[in-house]
Amino acid sequence: MTSSTAGPRLSARARGTAPFYALEFGRQAAALEAQGHKVVKLSIGEPDFGAPAAVREAMREAMDGRPLPYTAALGLPELREAIAGFYAERHGVDVDPARVAVTAGASAALVLAAAALVDPGDEVLIADPSYPCNRQIMESFGARVRLVPTSPETRFQLDAAAVREHWSADTRGVMVATPANPTGTSVPTEELAALCALAAERGGWRLVDEIYLDLADRDADGRPPRSALALDPGAVVVNSFSKYFGMTGWRLGWCVLPEELVPAVDRLAQNYFLCASAPAQLAALACFTPGALAECEERRAEFARRRALVLDGLAGIGLPVPVPPDGAFYVYFDVSGTGLSSWEFCERALREAHVALTPGLDFGQVSADTHVRLSYAASSAELAEGIERLGRFTATLRA
């Protein structure tokens, strides 16, 4: 009898999944820190604030020794009601709590949406550039993702004209992120309404990633941005407690579903996840208290100040930002004038200046070689130091 040292054969899905380069650069940064170097980490979209104080206290209370059994697959009823109330109070949208599914992070919401909507061979339209995990999740369920080129003229976002041009007989849906990662730009309200209407007219589903919605700028009258649900009640909308509420490691998100999708997503959630973390759900109820919301609004204002610091700093060292962001906490800047590709720029910035960034290769093809993402989720002091280091680094490139 013979034995083999070879491991199991990997699936085509596993072999075809590209790495998330932001995390790769994060690992390299950690290795440099282990060697004793101070690295300014501007590569990961993780707010430095943590959860609001009321949420942390609620978690301590939840962990008092009480039993913490599974919740319903779609989440605690009171949390689903609180999320629906948030849409009513913040965004003026009436959402039935029965349409809200609480998930193990927004990633789980995207997995459930893809499982419910996508069959092998279905074509899905996604903007280029865009968050890489969105297309990887779609492809894991057999979708053929068509990356639609965008430009500064469309704010690096899909618009109705692009959807009309690229829609084919195989297209089954469109995925939009507004505000978007990596660019921090939003789709204008009228354009989002037109895009969703076009897809709906063609029988396609609309999946809208609103993870950064509540970090977007207010309008001239101080009103918050409108949710896609106000424009297209039939859209599937995904959101998260990670960004606005600063709860990245808590792994809690949600989606709002058309009524007809709820039973299918319930069944899928039962089989895939059972439920999201019970203590995290209990603590998240405190997110919607007046004190926690006021704290989050102060943080949103702080992100706006950090954005101004970064935009001024990049302009001062000759790294242009084609489209200033209006939400999230990312700046997508152009490095083509340095003579380096985005990958070379990020590698050398990390190695020589000890600043961790993310190359455009993570986000698509159109700007893969020319653009770099900077996350201003770090502190103002870290951002100022990072810009100073990048200034010295780019000066050596031009010398």
The two tokens of residue 105 are 């992070």
CB count in 10 Å sphere of residue 167: 18
Residue 5 has pLDDT above 70, yes or no: no
Distance, in Å, from the CA atom of 14 to the CA atom of 119, rounded to the nearest integer, reads 18
Distance, in Å, from the CA atom of 135 to the CA atom of 148, rounded to the nearest integer, reads 12
Residue 172, SS3 per DSSP: strand
Residue 50, SS3 per DSSP: coil
Predicted pLDDT at 19? 74
**Mean pLDDT on 243-261:** 97
Distance, in Å, from the CA atom of 170 to the CA atom of 55, rounded to the nearest integer, reads 45
Predicted confidence (pLDDT) per residue in 9-28, tens digit: 888 888 877 777 777 888 88
pTM over 0.85: yes
Cis peptide before 129 (omega within 30 of 0): yes
Mean pLDDT rounded to a whole number for the chain: 94
Predicted pLDDT at 130? 96
The answer to whether residues 156 and 323 touch, using CB atoms and an 8 Å cutoff, is: yes
Distance, in Å, from the CA atom of 395 to the CA atom of 399, rounded to the nearest integer, reads 6
Residues of the chain with pLDDT > 70, as a percent, come to: 98
Q: At what angle do helices 290-316 and 380-398 cross, to 10 degrees?
A: 20
Q: What are phi and psi of 89, to 5 degrees?
A: -75, -40
Residue 2 has pLDDT above 70, yes or no: no
**Mean pLDDT on 309-331:** 97
CB count in 10 Å sphere of residue 11: 10
Instruction: Using alpha carbons only, give the angle 122, 136, 74 rounded to the nearest 5 degrees.
Output: 85
Predicted confidence (pLDDT) per residue in 68-106, tens digit: 999 999 999 999 999 999 999 999 999 999 999 999 999
Residue 4 has pLDDT above 70, yes or no: no
Residue 44 has pLDDT above 90, yes or no: no
Q: For residue 398, what pLDDT band results from cuts at 50, 70 and 90?
A: confident
Predicted confidence (pLDDT) per residue in 119-152, tens digit: 999 999 999 999 999 999 999 999 999 999 999 9
Residue 382's alpha-carbon distances to 40, 198, 345, in angstroms, are 6, 44, 19
Ranges 38-47, 146-155, 176-185: which has the least confidence: 38-47
Residue 320's alpha-carbon distances to 1, 288, 324, in angstroms, are 65, 38, 10
DSSP 8: P
Residue 1 has pLDDT above 70, yes or no: no
Residue 30 has pLDDT above 90, yes or no: no
CB count in 10 Å sphere of residue 128: 19
Predicted pLDDT at 64? 93
Residues of the chain with pLDDT > 90, as a percent, come to: 88
**232, 183, 199: which is closest to 125 by C-alpha?**
199
Query: Which H/E stretch holds residue 21?
Result: helix 21-34
Distance, in Å, from the CA atom of 243 to the CA atom of 301, rounded to the nearest integer, reads 14
Predicted confidence (pLDDT) per residue in 266-317, tens digit: 999 999 999 999 999 999 999 999 999 999 999 999 999 999 999 999 999 9
Residue 362 has pLDDT above 90, yes or no: no
Residue 72, SS3 per DSSP: coil
